């Protein structure tokens, strides 16, 4: 029986899974590529076909430069539950994957800011994985 039926609070793994499936905003901590110091920012993330992505409108992004230099980050859940997850980022360059993500319902807001062709060509994008959750 799941926790919604019993009125019990979800377990930590259930709360994390629920948050990853439904929340929109997190903080991420990257390591500064020049300073070597932790850098924490608030950012949106997308869930598309069971994968997690961070993207944005086209322009230089410090978070992306930091992740290119060091792909490890902390993914701080903060909406429906609180948890700090160790994560790794992989820059997404595959055109088909980029199109799948940026054409998804989850990325609708970005398409309202910039046309899809420009997003496909220029938007920053990383896929986030959670090695400790595998």
Structural domains of the chain sorted by starting position, each given as residue range(s) with its CATH number in brackets: 11-133 (2.30.110.10)
- pLDDT attached to residue 8: 55
**Position 129 confidence tier, pLDDT thresholds 50, 70, 90:** very high
At 132, the pLDDT band (50, 70, 90 cuts) reads confident
pLDDT at 3 over 90: no
| Cβ atoms of 24 and 64 closer than 8 Å | no
Angstrom distance (rounded) from CA 34 to CA 127: 23
Per-residue pLDDT reduced to its tens digit, 38-88? 999 999 999 999 999 999 999 999 999 999 999 999 999 999 999 999 999
Q: Strand 46-48 relative to strand 51-55: parallel, antiparallel, unpaired? A: antiparallel
Which pLDDT score, from 0 to 100, does residue 121 have?
97
Q: Are 35 and 49 in contact (CB under 8 A)?
A: no
80-122 pLDDT per residue, tens: 999 999 999 999 999 999 999 999 999 999 999 999 999 999 9
- pTM as predicted: 0.89
For position 4, what pLDDT does the model report?
42
Q: How many CA atoms lie within 13 A of 125 on its CB side?
A: 24
The model's pLDDT over 9-28, given as tens digits with 9 standing for 90+, comes to 566 899 999 999 999 999 99
What band does 35 get if pLDDT is binned at 50, 70 and 90?
very high
């Amino acid at each position: 029986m799941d926790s919604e039926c019993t009125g019990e609070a979800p377990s930590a793994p259930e709360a994390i899974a629920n948050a990853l499936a439904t929340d929109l905003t997190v903080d991420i901590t990257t390591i500064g590529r020049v300073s070597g110091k932790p850098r924490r920012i608030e950012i949106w993330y997308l869930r598309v076909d069971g994968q997690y992505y961070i993207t944005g409108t086209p322009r230089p992004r410090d978070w992306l430069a930091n992740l290119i230099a060091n792909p490890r980050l902390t993914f701080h859940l903060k909406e429906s539950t609180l948890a700090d997850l160790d994560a790794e980022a992989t820059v997404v360059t595959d055109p088909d994957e980029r199109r799948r993500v940026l054409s998804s319902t989850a990325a609708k807001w970005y398409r309202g800011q910039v046309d899809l062709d420009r997003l496909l060509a220029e938007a920053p994008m990383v896929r986030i994985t959670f090695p400790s959750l595998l």
